[in-house]
């Protein structure tokens, strides 16, 4: 039997080997990625997971407890709760992802410009952001959706305003930190225009901060989206949305708790996966 005493040096580890090693070191990250992959699959191809339509009403099958035919039971009008939760994945997660993206793009861009150029523009915006941040996020979301009326467009608008100030602050602080650096001075001295420096160099260096923030805020915006749905201010029935399913279930909580248990678990699992990812990413950023 040949004895192989020299272990491969770290740099020569295969990709799989390296993956396995970091998987052992960060079980939370692995769990998160597995769950996120599953959620992505469910969101993209709900038909793979259930042939049942989330909208099919069958009054004679109302409020049936979980069974082999209806894994998560049925709701008050006999719709399959499993199908509703599965089809709700795409609705809920895409609203959250989209709103947060708008938040990051608008808040980030304005913050970059504000921090880089400064001046009265920066002062005024700073004040507005202070004002927005003085509202608890959920209340801000509630007021905007409540005032404009429950509609998906209004929900997305409300959700994207809620965290815009956070992205603004991070981008602004990032740009402020970069302005004084030598590379900016160097770029200026060779006559590169300010706009180009901001777009090509500063933005690129601030990007990782914004991306990290996006991941960290995702589970939080999910909570707010669900809460608004639960208050009846979010996605309206019959469209399946996790928060909205909970809203419909709450009146039957003592008779048909399964209507509420499973959509809530879906929110919990998604938030958990996102939060674990956020923690892993944050750890990497801190190490840098």
Query: Alpha-carbon distance 181 to 186, whole Å?
Result: 9
Closest CB to another protein among 17 and 149?
149
Closest CB to another protein among 82 and 242?
242
Query: Alpha-carbon distance 225 to 52, whole Å?
Result: 25
Footprint (CB under 8 A) of another protein, residues 248-287: 249-250, 253-254, 257, 260-261, 264, 267-269, 271-272, 275-276
Tell me how many residues contact another protein (CB under 8 A): 41
Site membership for another protein, residue 23 (CB under 8 A): no
Query: Can you tell me which of 38, 62, 138, 192 binds another protein, judged by CB under 8 A?
Result: 138
Closest CB to another protein among 58 and 265?
265
Query: Alpha-carbon distance 235 to 266, whole Å?
Result: 16
Query: Residues 108-127: x/- map of binding to another protein (CB under 8 A)?
Result: -------------------x
Question: Which residues, including other chains, have CB under 8 Å from residue 235's CB and lie 6 or more apart?
Answer: 91, 92, 95, 152, 155, 229, 241, 243, 244
Footprint (CB under 8 A) of another protein, residues 141-180: 142-144, 146-149
Site membership for another protein, residue 223 (CB under 8 A): yes
Helix, strand or coil, per DSSP, at residue 80: strand
Query: Alpha-carbon distance 19 to 127, whole Å?
Result: 46
Query: Can you tell me which of 136, 196, 204, 284 binds another protein, judged by CB under 8 A?
Result: 136
Query: Can you tell me which of 163, 168, 218, 230 binds another protein, judged by CB under 8 A?
Result: 230
Query: Alpha-carbon distance 24 to 277, whole Å?
Result: 15
Query: In the chain, which ranges are continuous DSSP H helix?
Result: 15-25, 27-44, 81-117, 119-133, 137-148, 152-162, 164-179, 182-189, 194-196, 203-230, 242-249, 258-287
Per CB under 8 A, residues contacting another protein are 127-128, 130-132, 134-139, 142-144, 146-149, 219, 223, 226-227, 230-231, 243, 246, 249-250, 253-254, 257, 260-261, 264, 267-269, 271-272, 275-276
């Amino acid at each position: 039997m040949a004895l192989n005493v020299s272990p491969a040096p770290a740099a020569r580890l295969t990709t799989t080997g390296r993956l396995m090693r970091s998987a052992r070191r960060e079980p939370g990250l692995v769990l998160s990625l597995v769950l996120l992959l599953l959620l992505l699959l469910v969101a993209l191809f709900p038909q793979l997971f259930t042939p049942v339509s989330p909208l099919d009403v069958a009054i004679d099958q109302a409020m049936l407890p979980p069974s082999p035919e209806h894994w998560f039971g049925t709701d008050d009008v006999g719709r399959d709760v499993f199908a509703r939760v599965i089809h709700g994945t795409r609705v809920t997660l895409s609203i959250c992802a989209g709103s947060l993206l708008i938040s990051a793009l608008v808040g980030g861009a304005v913050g970059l410009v504000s921090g880089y150029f400064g001046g009265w523009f920066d002062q005024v915006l700073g004040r507005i952001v202070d004002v927005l941040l003085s509202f608890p996020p959920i209340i801000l979301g509630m007021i905007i959706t409540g005032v404009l009326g429950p509609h998906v467009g209004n929900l997305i608008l409300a959700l994207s305003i809620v965290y815009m100030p956070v992205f603004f602050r991070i981008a602004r602080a990032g740009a402020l930190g970069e302005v004084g650096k030598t590379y900016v001075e160097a770029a200026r001295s060779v006559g590169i225009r300010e706009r180009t420096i901001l777009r090509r160099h500063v933005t690129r260096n601030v990007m990782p901060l914004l991306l990290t923030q996006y991941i960290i805020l995702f589970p939080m915006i999910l909570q707010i989206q669900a809460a608004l749905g639960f208050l009846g201010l979010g996605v309206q029935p019959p469209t399946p949305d996790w928060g909205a399913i909970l809203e419909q279930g709450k009146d039957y909580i003592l008779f048909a708790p399964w209507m509420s248990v499973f959509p809530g678990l879906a929110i919990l699992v998604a938030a958990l996966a996102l939060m674990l990812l956020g923690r892993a990413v944050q750890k990497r950023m801190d190490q840098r």
